[in-house]
Amino acid sequence: MKRVIGRLNPQDKHITIWGAGFSGLVLGYYLKDLGYHVTIHERSNKVGGKIHTKKTSAGLIETGANALYMNADGMDLLKNLKLEPLPATKKLKRFLMINGKLKRPVQLKILSKLAINGHKKPPLISDGLTVAEFFRPLIGEENIQKFLAPVLGGIYATPTENLHFKSVFYDFSHVAQFNSYWDFIKLAIKRQKSKPRLEISGSVSFEGGMQTLINRLAESLKPNIKLNYKEKFEIKGNTILCTDAITAAELTREVRPEISTELSRIKYQQLSSVTVFMKREIKAIQRSFGALIPLGSGLNSIGVINNKAIFPDNNENVYSYTFISRKKCTEEDIISDIKSLNRDFLPEDIDHMENTYWEKALPVYDIQRYLSIKKLHQLAKKEENFAIFGNYVAGISLREMITSAKIFANNPLNYVEK
C-alpha cells in the first residue's frame, strides 16, 4: 500500500503543510529540496511535535523519540543536512523480564520451538491476520506473551493479539502464504542481507539530543514555518496534512466529511515517558540498552531505557533512565518499578524526575488502522492537490517516515512505491 495518501499537483510549486512534527518537517524538507515553495502551519509554539529535547539542570530529557534507527535514506538525509550522528554504544546487552527476572531475549526455549515447529505451514497472510495468530503455531501462546509481545510492545506499545501482521511485517505483505516458517525466516534473512551496508548502523542521536535533528530540519524551512497558527483549515492549492489522525479528522470534518469519518476510526495508545536521573546506577541493567517488560509482570512500565549506557556523551555526569508506560504514571509508580529492579534503592538516590504524558502517543497498528488507510486511499483517489501523511500512514518509526517522504516528494503526481 502507498505510504502517503492522496497526491499533489506538481505544476503548482506552492505547498502548505499542516503540522511541524517530524512527518511535516521531513516531507517539507524533501519537497523544498526539489524546488517547491513550502509553508508549514503549526498550531503550537514549537516545532518537532512528539520530539523534543529538554535541557534541564540535571541533564537532557527526550519527551518522545530518543533515537533514529538508521537506514540508507536516514544516512543520506543526515549527510544532506550536514549533521553528525552520535551512534549508540555498540554491543550493549538487551534484557527481557521473564517471570520477574531479567534475562537475554534470545532463549533456548524459543530456538527449540523453531527447531521443532519450523516445518509447519503458517496461517494464510490475510487482511485480518494478527501477529499473535501468525506466530502462535510456531512458538505457542505462552512464548508470545513472554517474548514476542514485550519485544514488539517496545516499538508499537500494542498487544500482539491486536497488532496487524501486514502492517508490522510490511515487507512480507505481498506473500499470500509461506510453505513453512523456515521459508518466512529465510526470506527475512535474505531481506536483511540485501540491505545496503551503512557506515553507521543501529540507533543514533545527536549532540544535544534529537532536538538537533529537528532544529536542522526546521532551519532549512525557515522562515516559512508559521508557529501558533490557529486559522481554519482549508484545502487551497497543494495541501498536506501532517498531524495525528484524530486532529486530521477534526480539521477535515467540513471540507472532506468522508475522509474525516475514516480518519476518526484510527485509535491511539496513551503513553507516559518518565526520565529519572539517579546518583547511583541501577545495577540490574548496567551496561545494557535497558529492559523490556511484559504486560502483567506487576510493573507499571513496559520498558526502561538506559540513556547513559546508550549515549554516554549526552549523559555525562548522571545516570539517566527513561521508563515507558502504557498508562498515565505517577512518580510513585516509577519509584515502585525502580525498586523492583534495584532492591537496595533509596529515595535519595533520585536526583530529578520528569514525567511526560502523551494522550495520543502512538497510533494503534491494528486491523482497523489498516482498513481505514485502505479506505482513505480509495477516497483520496479523486484528490489532485491534497495529501495526508504522518506516523499512522507511513509507519511509526522516524526512518520509515524518512523513506516514505523521500519517495513521495520525488513523484507527488504519480506516486508509486516499489
Pick between residue 247 and residue 385 the one whose CB is nearest to ligand FAD.
Answer: 247
For helices 398-410 and 72-80, give the axis angle rounded to 10 degrees: 70
Of residues 152-181, those binding ligand FAD (CB under 6 A)? none
Q: Determine the 3-state secondary structure of 45 from DSSP.
A: coil
Task: Determine the Cα–Cα distance for residues 291 and 96; give it in Å rounded to an integer.
Answer: 5
- 153 residue type, one letter: G
In whole angstroms, how close is the CB of 328 to ligand FAD at the nearest point? Answer: 13
Residues in the chain: 418
User: Which DSSP state fits 160?
Assistant: T
Q: Residue 282 or 310: which CB sits closer to ligand FAD?
A: 310
Cβ 47 to ligand FAD shortest distance, Å: 7
Question: How many CA atoms lie within 13 Å of 93's alpha carbon, on the beta-carbon side?
Answer: 12
The correct pick among 6, 28, 64, 154 for binding ligand FAD (CB under 6 A) is: 64
CA-nearest of 395, 388, 390, 386 to 413 is 386
205 lies in the binding site for ligand FAD (CB under 6 A): no
Candidate ranges 52-60, 165-173, 281-289, 393-401; the one touching ligand FAD (CB under 6 A): 393-401
- If one asks whether residue 4 binds ligand FAD (CB under 6 A), the answer comes out as no
CB of 309 to ligand FAD, least distance (A): 15
Angstrom distance (rounded) from CA 67 to CA 210: 7
Contact region for ligand FAD (CB under 6 A) — 52-60, 139-147, 189-197, 395-403?
395-403
3-state SS assignment for residue 257: helix
Strand order in the sheet with 268-278: 101-103, 93-98, 288-292, 303-306, 319-325, 268-278, 350-363
- Say whether residue 243 binds ligand FAD (CB under 6 A): yes
Q: Which stretch binds ligand FAD (CB under 6 A): 89-97, 237-245, 253-261, 379-387?
A: 237-245
- Measured from the Cβ of residue 85, the count of other Cβ atoms closer than 10 Å reads 21
CB of 353 to ligand FAD, least distance (A): 16
**Letter for the amino acid at 308?**
K
How many of the other CB atoms lie within 10 Å of CB of 130?
20
Q: What one-character DSSP code corresponds to residue 48?
A: B
Q: Is 217 in the site for ligand FAD (CB under 6 A)?
A: no
Nearest to residue 324, comparing CAs of 314, 334, 312?
Answer: 334
Q: With the CA atoms of 210, 213, 216 and 220 taken in that order, what torsion angle do they form, in degrees rounded to the nearest 10?
A: -130
Q: Binding residue for ligand FAD (CB under 6 A) from 12, 44, 170, 298? A: 44
Q: Which three cell numbers stand for residue 190?
A: 535474505
Please state the closest distance from residue 167 (CB atom) to ligand FAD, in A: 14
Which range binds ligand FAD by CB under 6 A, 162-170, 334-342, 372-380, 391-399?
391-399
Stretch that binds ligand FAD, among 1-9, 62-70, 106-114, 185-193 (CB under 6 A): 62-70
Among 16, 23, 211, 301, binds ligand FAD (CB under 6 A): 23
Q: Which residue's Cβ has the minimum distance to ligand FAD? A: 21
Q: Which residue in 168, 217, 221, 242 binds ligand FAD (CB under 6 A)?
A: 242
Asked if 22 is part of the footprint of ligand FAD (rule: CB under 6 A), the reply reads yes
* Pairwise CA distance, residues 321 & 278, whole Å: 8
**Total Cβ atoms within 10 A of residue 236:** 9
Site for ligand FAD in 342-361 (CB under 6 A): 358, 361
Stretch that binds ligand FAD, among 8-16, 143-151, 239-247, 309-317 (CB under 6 A): 239-247
Give the one residue of 24, 59, 122, 209 binding ligand FAD; rule: CB under 6 A. Answer: 24
Residues 6+ apart with CB under 8 A from 114: 138, 139, 181, 185
Residues that bind ligand FAD (CB under 6 A): 18-24, 41-44, 49-51, 64-69, 229, 242-244, 247, 251, 271, 273, 324, 358, 361-362, 390-391, 396-398
